[in-house]
Homo-oligomer: A and B are copies of this chain.
């Protein structure tokens, strides 16, 4: 699925040292298709997989991966962070009851006439959240 070698390459490519924790977390993250994880979820999953890593390191690592564009941060909930392993442009359903994120089929939304940003500003991203319940 996602080998140590691939993880190693990926980390080298972005200039992060391939430490035991980063390699393990990266494999866990990218080894199972597109996923939406909170730091807490990843930490639990890591422990379940016998990976010794502190929660602080999970936080730091997720932030670093996001800075390097290995991950993408999705903001749907004040007070909780989600990280998306799919960095391609796409949008989300957010199930407010289960607090679960679901990818929106890319084709399913078509936005036209995107507004021009105010003078001197440029668009960094367009995030569409369809809240469902």
A residues neighboring B (CB under 8 Å): 73, 75-81, 93, 95-96, 102, 104-105, 107-115, 117-118, 121-133
A133 / chain B contacts, CB cutoff of 8 Å? 121-122, 124
Q: A115 contacts which of B75, B80, B109 (Cβ < 8 Å)?
A: B109
Secondary structure at chain A's binding surface: helix, strand, loop or mixed? strand
Total identical chains: 2
CA of A76 to CA of B80 in the docked complex: distance in angstroms?
A: 12
A126: which B residues are within 8 A, CB to CB? Answer: 128-131
- The reply to whether B111 and A95 form a contact with Cβ atoms under 8 Å apart is no
Interface centre among A105, A107, A132 (most CB of B within 10 A): A132
In the complex, which residues of chain B have a beta carbon less than 8 angstroms from the beta carbon of A93? 115, 117-118, 121
The contact of A131 among B113, B114, B127, by CB within 8 Å, is B127
Report Cα–Cα, A81/B75, bound state, in Å: 12
